[in-house]
Structure 1
Amino acid sequence: MEIILYSKPGCHLCEGLQDKLEQIQGLEIVLDVRDITSREDWFQAYQYEVPVLCRNIAGREEPLPRPSPRLTVQQLVQMLQKYLDVTDS
């Protein structure tokens, strides 16, 4: 399952979420981090919303609920399992 993280440089919430996502083990996910400042359409869509998580299903992006910055890595795993319908490998 591909997870897309829309973020921007200097955003501590984005950096914290990316760090937690990179710590996840045991889930078959591929993380695609996208800098919204690199494309005008991403910037217009997400400039007030970052970090934004989406799942990519057959080339179609679906936004996921915004995780709390206070979530632990394990809680983030549980959230992803719920919304992505993925299981431990």
Structure 2
Amino acid sequence: MRLILYSKPGCHLCEGLQEKLEKIPNLSFELEIRDITTRDEWFGAYQYEVPVLYLSDTEKDIAEQPLPRPSPRATVQQLEQMLSKYISNNQKNDAE
């Protein structure tokens, strides 16, 4: 499972979310950081929206799915709870 974080340099909300994601203890995922300033299409899509999170699993052919924006005030535990719902839903769908 992969989480994709669209971010840009100097974005304090992006940095805060990245730090929290890296501290989540009980979920297994790869965190990919995409700097929107490196591609015009990313910049055009997310310049006013960052941070933006997507869930993907190329091994199970799950295309990138947007996730709701977590509150900047969310704790690591709250973020973990929110993400676990989406990760477990994708795992359930794979089992069916």
| Length-normalised TM-score, structure 2 | 0.85
Count of aligned pairs: 87
User: In structure 1, how many angstroms separate the alpha carbons of the residues matched to 2:10 and 2:19?
Assistant: 14
Q: Which moved more, 1:71-80 or 1:25-34?
A: 25-34
Partner of 2:4: 4
Within 5 A, what are the aligned runs for 1:67-82? 67-82=70-85
What amino acid is aligned across from residue 49 of structure 1 in structure 2? E
Say yes or no: does 1:30 pair with 2:30: yes
What amino acid is aligned across from residue 44 of structure 1 in structure 2? G
Moved over 6 A (4+): none
The CA RMSD measured in Å over matched residues stands at 1.5
How many percent identity over aligned positions? 66
Name the larger-Rg structure. 2
Partner of 1:18: 18
Q: Which has the higher helix share?
A: 2
Q: Which moved more, 1:58-67 or 1:35-44?
A: 58-67
Q: Which runs of 5+ in 1 are unaligned?
A: none
